[in-house]
Amino acid sequence: MPSDSAASVSVPASAVPRGPQALASLPAPQKPPTRAERLAALSSQAFDVLVIGGGVTGCGIARDAALRGLRVALVEREDFASGTSSRSSRLVHGGVRYLEHGHLGLVFESSIERYRLLKLAPHLVRPLAFVWPTYKGARLPRWKLAVGLKLYDALALFRNVRSSRALSVQRVREEIPGLRSDGLTGGARYYDAATDDARLTLANALSASEAGATVLNHAAVRGLVIAEGRAQGATVVDVLTGQELSVRARVIVSATGPWSDEIRKLDAQDNAPAVRGSKGVHIAVPRARLPTPDDTALTVLSGVDGRVMFILPAEHHTIIGTTETTTHAHPSEVRASVSDVDYLLASANGFFPDAKLVRDDVVSAWAGIRPLVASAYGAGGANSASREHAIHASPSGVLAISGGKLTTYRVMASDMVNAVEKALGTPHHKALTGSLPLPGGEFSSFDAEVASARAEVGREDVARHLVRAYGRRWRLVWELTRERPELAEPLAPGLPYVRAESLYGVSHEFVHTLDDLLVRRLKVAFETRDLGRAAARLAASDVASALGWTPEDIARQLADYERHVTRLFGIDPA
C-alpha cells in the first residue's frame, strides 16, 4: 500500500525548488491585508472581474484570474467553503461510478485533475487505496468490475498512483477484516485520492490574495449595479458590521453553486432554474466501532438500493456516505434526516454485521447540496445526472457557472477565466494553475516534511496534522508556541489540533468567527460529540484580543456558534 506521502507521484522539477537551500530561499508568506484594508479596496478600486461565491470553484476562479494579471475581487456571503465545499466526501477522484452512466469524458478529465492535484497540493491531496468487494447476485459481478477498473486506469492514461488489480476472496478478507464473507466472490483494489475539502478551498483563496486579488468572506451581495443594460458592479454588505459598499467591476461572475438561482433573480432577467440540488449526506462514527485500515477505503453497493457508496478512514473516525437524493431544501437549511442516517447505518451494517451500528454511534452527520446543471437530469434522477459543468451569460452579461465537481474545480475555473478574458476583450493568457503549487505545497517529500515537524513538535499525530493542513507553512503555526508555550496545548482532547492554530487562523487565514475556525479551518466540529462547543470556549479566549472581542462579543460569538452547529449538524426527524 502507498503511504499518504504521494511518493509515487512525480513532481515536475519546474514546479518545486530542489534541496534544502532552495526551499529555505522561498519567501515567507505575508500576512493578508486586514479586513479594513480589504473593505477599503473593494469600495475604492475598479476591478476587471468580481467573483461572487467563495466555494472551491469561486476561489479557483479568483486565483486563476489573479495569476493571469486581472484585477480581481471575490466576495462570499458566509465563509470560504461554508456550503457544499466543506460537506463533501473529501475525495479527489476520477469518478469510477460515473462509468456506469457513460460519462467517460468526465472520468477522463477528473482523472487528469486528480493527478495534477496530487503534485500541486501534496499536503492537501494524498493517495488513497480503495477495495471494492463483489458479491454473488449483485448487479456488478467481479468480471465486470475488473473490466470497468481497467477502463478507469486507461482513462487516467495509466498515470494513477498504481494500477487496479483483481483480489481473491481470501485477499479481500485479509484487506478488510470484519467484512461480510457470505456470498463474497472477490473484489478489486484501485486508487484515488483523499483531501480536506475546506482547506483545499482556502488554499485557493489564499493564493488568489497573494496574487493580488481582494478576497472577503462574510460579505453578501444584495444587488447588482446595472447600467445601460450591463452588469457593472454590485452592492455588497459587510455581514459583520452592516457596512454597505458599492463594488465596481467590468465583468461579474456568479460561482454560487446551489445559490446560483438567487443571483439570477438579482439579475432580473431570467428566472428559469439553472441548477437542481442533489443532497449528499455523510455520517462519522468512531473508528473503534467500524474499524477500517488507515490507508484503505471501501467502495460498496448498498444492500438497501444498490447505489455506490463509500466507507472512508478519517483519523479517529470512519466516514460513511453518501446519499444521492433530489432535494428542494434551501442550501442554508439542508441537513441530514433520520431516514438518511438510518440508510447509511443499515448500508454499513450490511457489510459489517458484527459492528451493529446504531444512531448513538453517530458522532456527527452533515449534508450538502451538489449543484447539478438542471438540464443534466435524466430519467435516473440525481444518481445518474451528469457532473459536467456549464457556463451561461445573462442578457446583462453576468457569467454564471453551474454543475461540476470538487475534483474538476481547476478546469471549471480555467474555462470561466477564458470566458472572462473574452468578455473583457483582452488577450488570452495561459492559466498558471496547472503547474503552480498551491500555498504550502512547495516541497518534494511529504514524509521529509513530517520528519522535520516531528523533530520540532515532538508528537507524531500533531506533526502529521500540521503538515497535512499547512504544508511547508506548518513552521509559521508552530513558531507561535515559542513565545507562548501554552499554545502548543491541545484545542480538543484526543485530537491533534493545537491552540496556536486559532491565532494563526486569525492572522493568516481570514478567520473572523468561531465556526470559521472550528468547522472549516479545522475539523473539530465534525470530530467531537459536542460539535466543538468546549473547544469554542477555549478558542474564544485565545482569539478575543486579536479580534478585539469584548466579554459581550465572546458571549455573542459562542451563541452564534451554538446556532451554527445546530443548524449544520442537526438531524431532521423526517
User: What percent of the chain clears pLDDT 70, i.e. is strictly above it?
Assistant: 91
Asked which of 38-52, 97-111, 200-214, 469-483 is least confident by mean pLDDT, the reply is 97-111
Separation CA 491–CA 395 (nearest Å): 50
Distance set, CA 302 to CA 169, 343, 394, 444 (Å): 19, 9, 41, 39
Assigned C-alpha cell, 384: 445518474
Residue-level pLDDT at 239: 98
Separation CA 412–CA 117 (nearest Å): 14
Per-residue pLDDT tens over the stretch 298-319? 999 999 999 999 999 998 999 9
Nearest Cα to 517, choosing from 494, 540, 534, 495? 540
- What are the φ and ψ backbone dihedral angles of 539, each rounded to 5 degrees? -65, -40
Per-residue pLDDT tens over the stretch 342-351? 999 999 999 9
Distance set, CA 181 to CA 144, 295, 303, 312, 499 (Å): 20, 21, 14, 20, 45
Does residue 397 surpass a pLDDT of 90?
A: yes
Q: Please say whether the beta carbons of 338 and 570 come within 8 A.
A: no
Give the confidence band of 386 by pLDDT, cuts at 50, 70, 90.
low
Task: Give the β-pairing of 275-286 and 364-373.
Answer: antiparallel
Assigned C-alpha cell, 152: 478507469
Once rounded to an integer, what is the mean pLDDT over residues 37-51? 98
Higher pLDDT, 276 or 517: 517
Q: Please say whether the beta carbons of 233 and 225 come within 8 A.
A: yes
How would DSSP label each residue in 524-566?
A: HHHHSTTTTHHHHHHHHHHHHHHHT--HHHHHHHHHHHHHHHH
Per-residue pLDDT tens over the stretch 441-467? 999 999 999 999 999 999 999 999 999
Separation CA 495–CA 303 (nearest Å): 33
Once rounded to an integer, what is the mean pLDDT over residues 188-193? 97
Per-residue pLDDT tens over the stretch 405-454? 999 999 999 999 999 999 999 999 999 999 999 999 999 999 999 999 99
Q: What would you report as the CA-atom Rg of the chain, rounded to the nearest whole angstrom?
A: 23
H/E segment holding residue 232: strand 230-238
Higher pLDDT, 408 or 294: 408
Farthest CA pair distance, the chain: 71
Average pLDDT in the chain:
91
Give the confidence band of 276 by pLDDT, cuts at 50, 70, 90.
low
Separation CA 477–CA 466 (nearest Å): 8
How would DSSP label each residue in 385-449?
A: ----EEEEE-TT--EEEEE--GGGHHHHHHHHHHHHHHHHTPPP---STTTSPPTT---S-HHHH
CA atoms within 13 A on the CB side of 99: 22
Does residue 211 surpass a pLDDT of 50?
A: yes
CA atoms within 13 A on the CB side of 71: 13
Residue-level pLDDT at 272: 60
Helices 56-67 and 197-210 sit at what angle, rounded to 10 degrees? 30
Does residue 27 surpass a pLDDT of 80?
A: no
- Residue 227, helix vs strand vs coil: strand
Q: Is 275 exposed, middle or buried (0-12, 13-18, 19+ CB in 10 A)?
A: buried
